[in-house]
Structure formats: structure tokens, C-alpha cells
Amino acid sequence: MELTIMERILTTGILKAKEGNFATLKALRTARQALEIDEEDHRAAEMEQNYNCPKCGWTGYFPIGAQPRCAFCATPLAAGTQLKWDPTAPPREMPLGEIATAIIAGHLRDLDRAGKLTDDLLSLYEKVADGG
Ligand SMILES: [Zn+2]
């Protein structure tokens, strides 16, 4: 199925928390690898990461993998953990396999039944779990 970057990040989170038998765990690992954000995503979605200056505290966003320097004191910046990207970047086909897809769908339906779906999961629910 075709997933956006945000849907892939959310899906990876769902798949991380699961336990199971050998075949299930192998299937989940394969699916997580398929979901990983790669250089094609960096380019296609113009992904950027936050960096901050350890000396003066200045912060800014730069392309992932850049080695920027502070605009004020020229100190090499330290990479942070925040990412941003173009949310209109086209979704990519993700070969998740039957086992992983069923686990994602089951997890989302559990949240739905418990009244615990969140807004950011709506589009994923519609793609994976709706009608099942
Ligand atoms: Zn600085």
C-alpha cells in the first residue's frame, strides 16, 4: 500500500511494540526495514533536521546529513532529533507483507474499539483497517 512519511513513522511505531513467534518477528523486521526513511525520501520530501549551536544556542533546520556551522559564531552545529519535511510529498508503495499488514490493522481496530484512535492515525486506519 502507498504510505506517506508520517504514516510510515506511525506504522513503524506500531510494529516495534509487538511480540510474537519467529515467523511473525521476521515479518515485522522485514516490514520495518521497508518502512525506513531513506535518501530517496530525503530528496523527494526535502527533509530537514534541526541543528543547534553548542556554544551560543542558535538553532536552525538543514538538510539531513549536512554539517552546518552556526550562523553567528561559526561553531559546528550539533544535530537534533526533530525532522521536518514537505507533507505533500507523494506517498510511496510499501511492501509490508500479509502478516505485518494484519498486525497493523488489528492494532488500529483495537484502538478504534477502545475509543483510543488519534487524529494522526485516521488516514492510516482508512488505508489499512477500514471495512475489516
Ligand atoms: Zn553559535
Q: pLDDT by residue (tens digit) across 67-88?
A: 899 999 999 999 998 999 999 9
Helix/strand/coil for 69: strand
Domain holding 2, by residue range, is 1-38+92-132
pTM of the model: 0.83
How many separate domains does the chain show?
A: 1
Q: Tell me the average pLDDT of the chain.
A: 93
Higher pLDDT, 19 or 114: 114
**C-alpha–C-alpha distance, residues 125 and 61, integer Å:** 31
- pLDDT for 132: 54
43: in domain: no
Across 105-122, average pLDDT: 95
- pLDDT for 110: 95
- pLDDT for 20: 86
Expressed in angstroms and rounded, the spacing between residue 37 Cα and the centre of ligand 1 is 29
Expressed in angstroms and rounded, the spacing between residue 77 Cα and the centre of ligand 1 is 8
25: in domain: yes
Expressed in angstroms and rounded, the spacing between residue 69 Cα and the centre of ligand 1 is 8
99: in domain: yes
